[in-house]
A and B are shown apart, each in its own frame.
Chain A
Amino acid sequence: MISLLKTDLKRILKDKLFMIALIIAVVLSCTTPLLYKIMPVEGMEEMLGAFGINMTGKSVFFQCFSPSSDAGLIVPILIGIILFKDYSYGTIRNKIIIGKKRSSIYFSSFIATSITICAIILIQAILALLLSLIFFNYQQTPFTGADFGYLMLSVLFEILVYILISALICFLCVWAKNLGLIIVGYVGVSMLFSIIGGVIMGVLFVTDMAGKEINKFLEILSNINIFTSNLIGSGTTYTLENLLYILLPIIFGTAILTALSIILFNKKDIK
């Protein structure tokens, strides 16, 4: 397993696409705080506030983490392309021929993908935070020890979100017969969840039917949708309800995708 993980990490790091993903992430990390800075349109702060977005370092940091951000869409795809090369080059055969278990091969690629995607997104978010701290404060209130704990916990949750995304990418690599399907698959899932999330938020915003049963249901749907949910990093503490909304879809999603991937991979005829 360790040898598999070493080779998977090595081939990802040696691939040009990894460097491209890193460059894109660095460039994108600069755009969000700079856009906030160079477009201080009057009333914009209030307008963003209505959507739960504040011109603070904290807000920028967690926006950069979001799976619906540009990096959240591009980085997993690029890492997925590198991952799929094991199938397209046929090098996955080398691992099976010398007796590596298929489940170990899968877990190794899953861990390598998670590490790489999380590292790039984390670098992007930290750079964005550092840059935004030049222009704005971290938050509107003074930074305390409790804020630090909250920040660390939020980063952990975001990492878990990207582990779920890595599981999705690995599932697509096992399931898809070609690269196009992986790209279309990931963009499709990402868009679908974003659209559903957007529509739900729109409905909730326009109808303002707070308290009604249907609205409660839509709110839950919105909260468990990792592509649009802004529960992570948006407050100062986590309620038990919020923790459930954050963790349950991640744990169930990752478990289901991993189980499906291993079943598929064990049955798959390797070309």
Chain B
Amino acid sequence: MEYVLRTFDVVKKYKNHYALNKVNMNVQKGDIYGFVGENGSGKTTIIRLICGLIAQNEGSFELFGVKYNSSDIHKVREKLGAIVESPSIYANMSAKDNLKMQSVLIGVNSEEKIKEVLEYVGLSELYDSPKKAGDFSLGMRQRLGIAMALIGEPEFIILDEPMNGLDPQGIVEIRELILKLNNEKGITFLISSHILTELALVATKYGIISKGRIIKEITAEELRNECRQSTEIKAENLRALTKAVEGKLDGYEITLVPNGIKIFGEIDLSSVLKLIIDAGVKITSVNSSSFSIEDYYLSIIGGVKND
């Protein structure tokens, strides 16, 4: 497995407050890693740390397999692009000038490249525009920030709360752009958000952070399974139970759980129970659950949904 980022027991302390407390996370090549946590949970802190903007007190991390304190870390950072909190752009310059500055910095000073990235992020009309970046809408600034990150042809892009403050149209555009870059250029993403559902349409893996700790790392598929409607039926005799339903619940995904089975999807519970009872199996418990992604997230972080 090729890892783009791995952190090992990273600790960041501000006086007596632990912003990060032994954080371990793994981002694989090609992932769109959704980094989810409530405000103040430590998402931006770990992003700043990875980007080299702050230093940790304990622990370590590897970027493209290179340790944070290695002399090669500066070299591998060239494969990185990031927007931390808000896009870092010169408000007094046009989009083209901002991109020119970034391209000079990276050493890819080409007008063609500037044109290409502006087109890619849907801002091609700004190529010849003298409009200053300070006058752009939040969505345009966000896209310009991504364009600046793209100039260096990064393999890994970190976006800190990229949907923050965007209107629904802007959210869709950024989401589509992320998917396009991941699919067409194979760019790995780490995207932070405090709203899990916001990431659900793009992420392939999630890291859930709360109070400076990674509580869970879960793939999108695992999350979908966790959030599907399911019914757990437990019986005194597991063998008899499986025999009772065997071949009678075609089309349903059934997995074994301790002393029972778990049936995914919407079922006619009364007929399934009748089927089992008729087979002479003694049921000990029946549990139906239907978690939304939000419910799941709240159950993980121990929060309460406010309806």
Contact = CB atoms under 8 A, between A and B. Distances in A.
Nearest to B80: A97
Contact of B90 (A6, A91, A267): A91
A236 B107 CA distance: 48
Q: Is the interface of A mostly helix, strand, loop or mixed?
A: helix
B164 to A, nearest CB: 15
A95 B105 CA distance: 7
B107 A3 contact: yes
Contacts of A3: 104-107
Given A3-B106, A7-B101, A90-B88, A96 B93 contact: no
A7 B105 contact: yes
A14 interface: yes
Interface string B57-99: 0000000000000000111111011101110111111000100
Interface residues of A, number: 27
B148 A94 contact: yes
Interface string A92-113: 1111111111000000000000
Contacts of A98: 77-78, 80-81, 105-106, 152
B53 A16 contact: no
B88 A94 contact: yes
B52 interface: yes
B88 A89 contact: yes
B37 to A, nearest CB: 20
Interface in B32-60: 48, 51-55
B102 interface: yes
A100 B75 CA distance: 9
Nearest to B97: A14
A156 B92 CA distance: 34
A10 interface: yes
A93 B106 contact: no
A266 B76 CA distance: 19
A4 interface: yes
Contact of B73 (A85, A99, A267): A99
B101 A11 contact: yes
Interface string A1-34: 0011011001100111000000000000000000
B254 to A, nearest CB: 48
B156 to A, nearest CB: 11
A129 to B, nearest CB: 34
A95 B80 CA distance: 11
User: Top 4 A-B pairs ranked by shortest CB distance?
Assistant: A99-B77, A90-B88, A99-B74, A270-B53
Interface of A: 3-4, 6-7, 10-11, 14-16, 85, 89-101, 267, 269-271
23 contacts: A10-B104, A11-B93, A14-B93, A85-B90, A85-B92, A89-B89, A89-B91, A90-B84, A91-B101, A92-B88, A93-B51, A94-B88, A94-B148, A96-B52, A96-B53, A97-B53, A97-B77, A97-B80, A99-B52, A100-B74, A269-B48, A269-B54, A270-B54
